[in-house]
Chains A and B, each alone.
Chain A
């Protein structure tokens, strides 16, 4: 089954404790992206990757890092999480006109 998976689905952590949210897709898509969703602000793009080793900033990249060492994986790294990064995070992959989204990761930073 074609899908985008994210782990973990839920995470509560504390300020400053480095964490990684993994994203994997099995559709051999070149393009992958990370979004965060906050009440009243909608979905905002954090980072995107056009292909392996090619990444670029979206609209809200501060406080985040990404890497694309292989086509199927696009992890989101929070080196020093802060409470304002509490949000619902979505990973997406696409090839043509359709983006496929993962199930989301709900992150709480205390």
Chain B
């Protein structure tokens, strides 16, 4: 699976959009990009995933560059409850969830 690089931490003002970057320059054509988050010591929570096209759901938007070497998770109106560690994961979908590497993630601090 391709490796990912994320900044260790980011700050965001409450109510503003939070844009979390992820680099995955070695991604292959059939590898998906997944995003999860972990609030404090709770179990990680699925946010969104995508292959090539941009995706949006009720939680966030995922923007994948045309060359697929990087992506951005966007939380459109961050709240204090969005403070968490956000993980970007790249893997082959056909392997289901075995060997699912979470990495170090980005600690997002949403400030009032």
List chain A positions with a Cβ less than 8 A from chain B.
4, 31, 33, 37, 42-43, 45, 48, 50, 56, 58-59, 88, 90, 92, 94, 97-104, 106
**Distance, CA A102 to CA B49, complexed state (A):** 20
Query: In the complex the two chains form, what is the Cα distance from A45 to B96 in whole Å?
Result: 13
In the bound complex, residues from chain A placing their C-beta under 8 Å from that of B105 are 42
Secondary structure type dominating chain A contacts: strand
**Inter-chain contact A97/B98, CB cutoff 8 Å:** no
Interface size, chain B (Cβ < 8 Å) = 20
Report B-chain residues with C-beta under 8 Å of the C-beta of A56: 98
CB–CB A43/B44 < 8 A: yes
How close is A101's CB to chain B, nearest CB, in angstroms? 3
Q: Is B81 an interface residue (CB 8 A)?
A: no
A33 touches B97 (CB 8 A): yes
What is the 8 Å Cβ interface bit string for chain B, positions 36-50, against chain A (1 contact, 0 not)?
Answer: 100001111110010
Q: How far is the CA of A52 from the CA of B45 in the complex (A)?
A: 25
Q: Contact: A45 with B100, CB < 8 Å?
A: yes
Instruction: Contacts A42-B105, A97-B34, A99-B46 given; indicate if A88 touches B97 (C-beta within 8 A).
Output: no
Contact B43 A90 (CB under 8 A): yes
- When the two chains form the complex, which single residue of A45, A100, A103 contacts B98, counting CB atoms closer than 8 Å? A45
In the bound complex, residues from chain B placing their C-beta under 8 Å from that of A100 are 43, 46
- With A and B bound together, what is the CA distance between A106 and B40 in angstroms? 13
Rounded to whole Å, the gap between the CB of A57 and the closest CB of chain B is 9
Which residues of A lie under 8 Å from residue B97 when comparing CB positions? 31, 33, 48, 92, 94, 99
In the assembled complex, the CB of A37 is this many whole angstroms from the nearest CB of chain B, namely 8
